[in-house]
Structure 1
């Protein structure tokens, strides 16, 4: 079989580090083939993989690793500076970056912590947190402009994460202020370096607090793994970093885009609000239409990987970025208006927003649960909610995190409130 490489004369596609138009860029990358050469921050070369079938094959391929320390020569040889904008994504030691048996070992306690039983047990508390936030919003008044990202989409997953991890009250605000900066890909190197140091300091405080006062929470479970010799101290801290950052950001952006799409598609909101379409289906279409994490760096070819259906060859040490935003809107998989939001779409759940294969997100079902509870409660409480300026929404400055900087909205009268008299 003849294999193909990008022509030598083709310049790599330089990714927009600001993420100004993730889906336009995804379409441009898709037009260059199922995978194409790109440049990451600092002109680091990589492949961007956009085709969903190729993504599935690669994410299950034994020759594709996430361990830079073992399988990325540029990292091993010191060619990637410590100040690189994405250094945290490849330098941590947790299930996100592990390969083979090491991945199985580091993922095992996380899988246990997010078992279906544990997730279902959280339903009453998630509902209580949701309604508490809605009460706070309602106090702002029906005609004030409120930022639903800051005051609802951001806070709900953070409070649930604090609950799951057993974060002491005193650390709630510091974690809230620090966690979002991990996903910025357009910041100066010195600033990028300061972010993980701040997060690690908070994680150390969390570990110390839970060692003194353990509880029925994920942090205490992981500390038991550490003290039992199953994890190193760095693996403990990095596993918590993974849960605090990636788990939170994914759910924030799911809520952000779900609210945006439902508020701007009233006929589709009506289908869900009246029970004609289940909220579960709304969540899946939101994930397909707007993958919360647009692109995930990095994976590496352990040895030469030849993808027979496409003829593409990935050389040993080649770095790969998986473009989930492109995969969700692939016109081959969704030939009828792949770019449109449609809660009646068949096969909406056939997406890759939470990954695929061994690295499938352990918190996926928790995120889905939060989405179903949040959407139902928000639009039940504020049935006439509208965005204040939908045409002016600004994307986050990141090619990784797919969300908005702010989500200004006018809530309208609450369902249990009487409209004002003239």
Structure 2
């Protein structure tokens, strides 16, 4: 802890769940210190989080409600700069959020998502065929590299009409956004490359529109009169949709595979019909939130936490930042019992906030769930004897306190026969 008593968040995310436990032990809401000494309140109670996430006195717009931003104290070199600097529905408040979300929702429809299922199945089969080939070349295959990552990134690239040759650059810049341990030089480099790549994409789609979300968002900007997206909002909406649209799903599939390989009894429940793949997905989302902590929200006025069911005497002052501690909430014993940190697909109460709550609930949640629902049974059906290739404790987490996943997931396929 710092001299002020705040829990110092480790930017490298080396022990997300140990840190989450320490946050919970300090109560439903406690002070934490983010990179560069930026202070915030971490909320780890599911009930309190739900109330704060839907309270009009809590904003996501730093330009209106965060004094550190307004006063110019947040540098472009800050590892979380992109998370607060973007101008899209992620950082919008009130009527502005409704306007932006409505425009995006018109493009990102349930029909468009449902129509992707055959293509997701096709991509999954192709990736598994490629894994077969990799397994013939090497005893060990990295499933994060060969399945967890390429499936969502290919889906999101096709959804937004991103040329295949730009996939590697997209992956690099999105990894950079989630790298909360990045150096100042890395932060500014990623920021520059991100907007260069998206600027090229928008220019290409203006020249040759297609049946993709980028073209649909451009049309929403250009054709909606007073409610159009500004140029910056258009670019920043692409930042949000492309980054959130694949990183969370990468971690969901990664963590689900890992959980089943380290809990063979739970996999046995699924194979015996005592639990479904949906049970696996929801329990994974609860116990291993793909986004461990999400920055940031801000108090529009002084908030007496006790009036919201939290501890009496705690006040989140006007302008102070709030960190949604989803990983901590997902394993909160108050909500899930003394075994809250145990992966149990037969658990009756799997409530979680992994996709957020309220007006900011993730629009892409159905797509992420669909991808996992297709990939997981296909993988375990093809490789029934799949096993980790290294001891569990040797797996390294990604360098982030936001993104919760593994840097690699090496396995032995052990194909039948």
Q: TM-score, normalised by structure 2?
A: 0.95
Once structures 1 and 2 are overlaid, which stretch shifts more, 86-95 or 161-170?
A: 161-170
Among 158, 161, 180, the residue aligned to 1:163: 158
Aligned length: 407
> 1:235-294: CA deviations, max 9, x gaps?
000000001111211000001100001112222112223433211111000000100000
Residue aligning to 1:214: 209
> 1:13-58: CA deviations, max 9, x gaps?
1111111111111110111111111111100111111111110000
Determine the C-alpha separation between the residues in 1 that align with 2:172 and 2:86: 21
Name the SS for the 1:141 alignment partner. helix
Determine the C-alpha separation between the residues in 2 that align with 1:391 and 1:12: 28
Shift of 1:10: 5.2
Shift of 1:115: 2.7
Among 25, 34, 40, the residue aligned to 1:31: 25
Q: TM-score, normalised by structure 1?
A: 0.94
Matches within 5 A, 1:181-260: 181-228=176-223, 229=225, 230-260=228-258
Residue aligning to 1:280: 278
Shift of 1:214: 1.3
Among 38, 53, 56, the residue aligned to 1:59: 53
Long gaps (5+) in structure 1: 1-7
Determine the C-alpha separation between the residues in 2 that align with 1:400 and 1:286: 16
Work out whether residues 11 and 400 of structure 2, in 8 Å CA contact, stay in contact via their aligned partners in 1: yes
Determine the C-alpha separation between the residues in 2 that align with 1:281 and 1:10: 42
Q: Judging changes above 3 Å, is the alpha-carbon distance between structure 1 residues 172 and 10 closer, same or farther for their aligned structure 2 residues?
A: closer
Determine the C-alpha separation between the residues in 1 that align with 2:406 and 2:191: 22
Residue aligning to 2:318: 316
Residue aligning to 2:408: 406
Residue aligning to 2:104: 110
Once structures 1 and 2 are overlaid, which stretch shifts more, 47-56 or 172-181?
A: 172-181
Once structures 1 and 2 are overlaid, which stretch shifts more, 142-151 or 366-375?
A: 142-151
Q: Judging changes above 3 Å, is the alpha-carbon distance between structure 1 residues 123 and 275 closer, same or farther for their aligned structure 2 residues?
A: farther
> 1:363-400: CA deviations, max 9, x gaps?
01110111111101110111111110123100111111
Long gaps (5+) in structure 2: none
The CA RMSD measured in Å over matched residues stands at 1.5
Residue aligning to 1:393: 395
Residue aligning to 1:5: none
Shift of 1:336: 4.2
> 1:62-105: CA deviations, max 9, x gaps?
00000001100111011122211111111100010000010011
Name the SS for the 1:369 alignment partner. helix
Is 1:75 aligned to 2:79, yes or no?
no
Once structures 1 and 2 are overlaid, which stretch shifts more, 400-409 or 310-319?
A: 310-319
Residue aligning to 1:268: 266
Work out whether residues 176 and 186 of structure 2, in 8 Å CA contact, stay in contact via their aligned partners in 1: no
Determine the C-alpha separation between the residues in 2 that align with 1:67 and 1:99: 6
Matches within 5 A, 1:130-149: 130-141=124-135, 144-149=139-144
